[in-house]
A and B are shown apart, each in its own frame.
Chain A
Amino acid sequence: MSKTPWLILLAPLVSAALITLVTRPARRLSAFISVVAVLLSFFCSCIVFARPEISALEIPWIEFHGILRVPIGFILDPLSKTMLVLVSGVGALIHIYSLGYMRDDPGKSRYFASLSLFMFSMLGIVLANNFVMMFVFWELVGLCSYLLIGHWFERDSAADAAKKAFITNRIGDFGFMLGILLVWGATGSVVFDEIVPQLWRVTSNPTFLTICVLLIFCGAVGKSAQFPLHVWLPDAMEGPTPISALIHAATMVAAGVYMLVRVGFLVQASPVALAVIAWIGTITAVMAALIAIQQDDIKRILAYSTLSQLGYMVMAVGLASGEAAMFHLFTHAFFKALLFLGAGSVLVALHHEQNIWKMGGQGRNLFLTFVTFGIGMLALIGCPPFAGFFSKDAILSLAYNRNPAIFGLALFTAFLTAFYMMRLFVVVFFGKPRSPAAKTSRESPTSMLVPLAVLALLSLLGGFNFFATHFLTLPHERDVGDVAAFVPGVALVAMLLGVAGAIILYRSRIEEPLSINLLRRKFYFDELYRALINATQEFLARVSGFIDRWIIDATVVRGSSGATWSFGALLRLMQVGNLQAYAFIFGLGIIWIIYFAIFR
């Protein structure tokens, strides 16, 4: 038994409480506390990672003997340990980056308190050894996401985006909770280790199993922003950029994938559910990549790219390889955090101008940002030898072996990815500056550049086998089977086509040469959902409101109910014009009635 795992979890919670209750007025001190807490978590995560024999005390949260047992206990296996190091490590880098990025923000204390609370919640998801505890932290990361998206709450767009994110996630969680209930109903437990021996109770009925898995998958659809609940993630870019990097790219949105891998014993048992999962992932990957090629906001392009990459991971889960999914989750965390932080560096230099057509020529002004962003981009589009090449290759090979249609779409997505990223890169960093701010931009402070450099290094090395197997004990491509050089070959061709296309089309352009409205408007999902909500929820709400006011209240209560009326009339006879007297008489009357009914 060791206290270290508890320290990992509790350090950020203490920090969040301390900042909220005590150090709120002292903004620099608050930031300092938060950074110390996350570094402590990272340090302890490394200790836990290095010591295979470590275990932690389990305490009961809710316990009804023989009926329901929900402990707060930790699962410490290679999967969670590597995830711990990843989350706390990337988290620490982003805390440090935030010191620079949020330097003069009036809500800095609030920001760091929420960030600490997020670290607590996210690490809780990673450590959870049972469904309910995972759900607890699952909801809490949703809260942190809400708080941080809405950090600049005076802005209507930020306030709306925060609300949308929370509610969309709750829709997914509706299914998740139902799935948990079904599994509990069948196996009698919510603890992962206790479910496994009872699993036959679920698997013996394939339909039941499929329903369970799909409902649990709903949770992942919400959290990892898969089609059709993907609409909240692009709007979430209203939050500060470090938040987009940490929560809406590297860690929280990957929680859905982590959860699916964690309950792989269940998910992998149902071929039907796996097929659905694979296709949802594929649809998300292609759709988001298509939308990304027509966006003008630098953060939204990256957000759609995140959607698309999450689609790859979910696709891998659906193709029955948790290993490939986790591999991509890791490399993606590095290079997508890098890309967002790089974008943040550009935004700071350009006084928060987010439109890429107002940028241009930043390669010269922001050299370090340019280089690190370039590394991140190459990793994302799967250029060898960067990290993304290996992990994407793992998924493509998997798809090639298991499902040719999905393979084709995945390959097409790889082409689109290369295209939209190169478009972004060319428009932002090359050509001539297209706005006054872009002409005079200056490189960001050191606290922002150091995390960029570290993440660039990780994006460069993260895919290599020695790194994957020895340092991170990452799952590597063992179960994919032997694939000829064919898959990496065509992937490389697709990437080169995309890169070439973007360079030819966008070199020294000053405005968008293509305009595809369907993609610009994101396939009209927001409009569609708005109409759908209006036709269902808002309509029903209005009808119910009408019924309640004009039928139940007016008719039943005031009108036809003779009893009520005569009772009222009776009271009016009795009452002598004021309520006090009535109330007194009423009290006496009641006592009198009791006396008669019982004692006589």
Chain B
Amino acid sequence: MLLLLVTFTPIVAAILIMIGFPARLTALAASLLTLLISAIIVLRFNALSGFQFVVIFPISSEMLLNFALGVDGLSLLMILLGAIVLVAAVWFTGEIEHHENAFYACLLFIGGGAIGAFASLNLFFFYAFHELALIPTFLLIGIWGTGNRRAAAWKVTIYLALGSIILLVGLIMLYHAVPASARSLDLRILQAGQIPSSLQSSIYLVLLIGFGILISLVPFHTWAPEAYASAPAPAAMLHAGVLKKFGLYGLLRLALPLLPDGAREWSGMLLVLLLGNIIYIGLVTIAQRRLDWMLGYSSVMHMGYIFLGIASANILGTTGAAILMFAHGLSIALLFGLTGEIRKRVPSLDLDAMGGLAKAMPLAAFAFGLGIFSAIGLPGFANFAAEIMIVFGAFRNGFDYQHFHIFQWATLLALWGVVISAVYMLRAYRRTFFGSSAESDLVKSDIPSGFRVPIALLVVVSLLLGFFPQIAVNRLMPTFRNYFSATE
């Protein structure tokens, strides 16, 4: 019941707004309600058992189609992320010049769709909810975006639609590869089935490309920075923070348990690609001259670490990956939200032209500082705890004294990425907020003091998991222990 509420509160609210309810008020109330319900789910969640709060509505037994929702530790974390970022995104939405109702409705559809995808136990709805969330994203960029928004909207639409279709092909292949006895759309039943080794390789590759496009895995990443630079801030917050995690969630939920041999076979290639995300995109990020593009690329880069956790295919790495998905969602949402506020106040986000904003915008500077330091993995934030697990997990894979194997080399390069991320983040922070510039003297107002609430929400949760990561680890353990029970 709670899961139905948490999924449909934003969707129902979106419909109500479309038919004329006051947009901001309804959206804010609905998102806060969603957060409240997900908090209740978190508190009542039993860390020791598997899927909980299951609700099933049979639609067609012949077609195996059920509308089924349920959560385990992994989906719990993602639903909570969705609810938190939804509140923050709605709160950060300022004056909308035209079609205010539609704007808020789109945000709520993204939030509800993402939460629904994470809560779905049925493969069909897992996919459909994601599509439901994806479409409003295109609209937000195309209608309310900035800069060259049409081009950006088309690019992201074509790209992600392509990704979705490849993903669909992969899912269909997966479905047909499961032995007939275990064939089901129910994720729980599906996971019990053994897919023959010979089929795993090709299915994994298709899924990796499909999900990879959605997650901006190199070289399928070029849609991301442009889209995030053009998107209105709340849309960027929700997409980079939450919706993009759908692909990673799918890899963890489907590809890893169902296709372990395929994952092993392609792990070398995946390592190369994810190092592309970390090192190559890291360097590209350094070369950026605009704040919004820098952040867009940085979010692409950090996907590399989550991929590293997934690629390491052990309980340490995957747990770290799940926590980093959560932590990165919080930090990137904060950074995009604040960038949107800065955009309203300065003529351009060119890093060379900005400077000294800390004087006029002390609250924004403080919050942005928290954002960048969590993003670059400072201890105390959940990002650090997650990265520690990922790095240890990846390093452990095939370690021996005499030689470094690919995983050890990959870990080494990934650690260098930590230096790279400090370089671009601190440089951007310094250029934006420190020193002085003619532009900054024109800025008269800080962000509204009411924004302390969403900022505190994003930061406090990250700090909580940073200080006590075991809270998340204990809840993720039952899920991932099943995956690796044979090897660990």
Contact = CB atoms under 8 A, between A and B. Distances in A.
A150 interface: yes
A556 B411 contact: no
Given A170-B419, A597-B172, A552 B219 contact: yes
B55 interface: no
Contacts of B423: 167, 537
A586 B161 contact: yes
Contact of B470 (A62, A153, A185): A62
Given A163-B427, A594-B168, A544 B284 contact: yes
B10 interface: no
Contact of B396 (A156, A185, A557): A185
Interface in A574-600: 579-580, 582-584, 586-587, 590-591, 593-594, 597-599
Interface stretch (A174-182, A289-297, A443-451): A174-182
Interface stretch (A45-53, A136-144, A396-404): A136-144
A553 B222 CA distance: 6
B395 A181 contact: yes
B392 interface: yes
B473 interface: yes
Nearest to A588: B131
B416 A174 contact: yes
Contact of B316 (A67, A568, A591): A67
A22 to B, nearest CB: 13
A478 B121 CA distance: 70
Interface in A341-393: none
Interface in B462-488: 468-470, 473, 488
B401 A186 contact: yes
Contacts of B135: 583-584, 586-587
A63 B401 contact: no
A38 B138 CA distance: 54
A139 B153 CA distance: 40
B434 A583 contact: no
A143 B283 contact: no
B433 A153 contact: yes
A417 B46 CA distance: 65
Contacts of A178: 412, 415
Nearest to B218: A552
A571 interface: yes
A579 B315 contact: no
A486 interface: no
A170 B388 contact: no
B222 A548 contact: yes
Chain A at the B interface: mostly helix, strand, loop or mixed?
helix
B164 A579 contact: no
Interface in A15-40: none
Nearest to B155: A557
Interface string B385-417: 100110110011001011000000001100110
Contacts of B422: 166-167, 170
Contact of A587 (B132, B286, B359, B468): B132
Given A132-B388, A556-B219, A598 B175 contact: yes
A544 B415 contact: no
Given A139-B378, A166-B422, A159 B434 contact: yes
B373 A143 contact: yes
Contact of B378 (A68, A143, A185): A143
A68 B388 CA distance: 11
Interface string A43-69: 000000000000000001111100110
Contacts of B63: 598-599
Nearest to A546: B287
Contact of A181 (B392, B419, B473): B392
Contacts of B378: 139-140, 143
A272 interface: no
A3 to B, nearest CB: 18
Contact of B157 (A162, A208, A545, A579): A579
B356 interface: yes
Contact of B419 (A139, A174, A597): A174
Contact of A63 (B379, B427, B470): B470
A139 B376 CA distance: 11
B144 to A, nearest CB: 12
Contacts of A156: 434-436
B411 A62 contact: no
The bracket for how many chain A residues form the interface is 35 or more
A62 B473 contact: yes
A571 B436 contact: no
Nearest to A133: B379
B316 A61 contact: no
A205 interface: yes
B54 to A, nearest CB: 22
Contacts of A538: 286
Nearest to B426: A163
B139 interface: yes
A593 B167 CA distance: 12
Contacts of A598: 63, 124, 172, 175, 185
B143 A545 contact: no
A124 B401 CA distance: 31
Contacts of A170: 418-419, 422
A150 to B, nearest CB: 7
B385 A537 contact: no
Nearest to A70: B388
Nearest to B169: A597
A579 B379 contact: no
A184 interface: yes
Contact of B162 (A62, A68, A201, A567): A567
B384 interface: yes
A318 B302 CA distance: 38
A68 B418 contact: no
B430 A181 contact: no
Given A163-B427, A557-B222, A579-B142, A564 B419 contact: no
A174 B415 contact: yes
Contact of B283 (A537, A556, A571, A590): A537
Contacts of A545: 283-284, 287-288
24 contacts: A60-B470, A61-B468, A62-B470, A136-B380, A154-B358, A160-B430, A166-B426, A170-B418, A184-B395, A186-B401, A205-B402, A542-B287, A544-B280, A545-B288, A552-B219, A567-B158, A568-B158, A579-B157, A587-B132, A587-B135, A590-B165, A594-B128, A597-B168, A598-B63
Given A139-B384, A186-B401, 13 more contacts: A150-B434, A159-B435, A162-B430, A174-B416, A177-B418, A185-B401, A201-B401, A545-B287, A552-B222, A564-B158, A571-B158, A587-B131, A590-B164
Interface of A: 60-64, 67-68, 70, 132, 135-137, 139-140, 143, 150, 153-156, 158-160, 162-163, 166-167, 170-171, 173-174, 177-178, 181, 184-186, 201, 205, 208, 537-538, 540-545, 548, 552-553, 556-557, 563-564, 567-568, 571, 579-580, 582-584, 586-587, 590-591, 593-594, 597-599
